[in-house]
Amino acid sequence: MNEKAQKILKELASLYPDAQPALKFNSPYELLVAVILSAQCTDERVNKVTEVLFKEHNTPEKMLNLSQSELEKYIFSCGFYHNKAAHILSASRDILEKYDGVVPDTLEQLKTLAGVGQKTANVVYAVAFGGDAIAVDTHVFRVSNRLGLAEGKTPAKVEEGLCTVLPKNEWSKAHHYLIYHGRRVCHSQRPDCANCTLKDLCNFYKK
């Protein structure tokens, strides 16, 4: 790990020692559904929706008791509800048919599920199964680029950069740290650079 990455990681660890996922879940399947719902939506909103949805539909079998339009009614407030409902149902079908109803615990297998992209697979792998992965969401993408920790025009490029510059055993934690920093300090519109303890290490600030 280079010196800059080391300093950033150390500072983020001291700022957010309790960084953890904000999505509520009780099983890998619940997490998978919550992550699909969280695209372009706040975790708070997703938690409200899943609190109701998971009372009756917290396994692939139970989810598939719902039609597309019935599921859409549950998840309407998360936005993009038509696509999200389709993804949840197709992933549930795949889990039942390909994996005997159990969410697979490898990145490769997670990525074979219909409706599950790289980011969702990474989050489920890291958070539900303790695997080493960095999911690049909007916060991780923005903060990594601004700091110059890993630069790239696509999430895949930033993920590749982060995986190169950070040790594997820190990937999952770094993902949460960068999300916290993006939410609390390095906001999309008005980053609070004046109060940011990483400013001396930040490319964006130096410009």
- Kindly tell me which of 88 and 143 has the beta carbon lying closer to ligand SF4: 143
Positions 166 through 205 that interact with ligand SF4 (CB under 6 A): 185-186, 191-193, 196, 198-199, 202, 204-205
Q: How far is the CB of 3 from ligand SF4 (least distance, A)?
A: 17
151 binds ligand SF4 (CB under 6 A): no
Q: How far is the CB of 199 from ligand SF4 (least distance, A)?
A: 4
Please say whether the beta carbons of 186 and 142 come within 8 A: yes
Q: How far is the CB of 6 from ligand SF4 (least distance, A)?
A: 16
Question: What residues are annotated to the active site?
Answer: 119, 137
x/- contact string, 110-149, with ligand SF4 (CB under 6 A)?
A: ---------------------------------x--xx--
Q: How far is the CB of 183 from ligand SF4 (least distance, A)?
A: 11
Residues that bind ligand SF4 (CB under 6 A): 143, 146-147, 185-186, 191-193, 196, 198-199, 202, 204-205
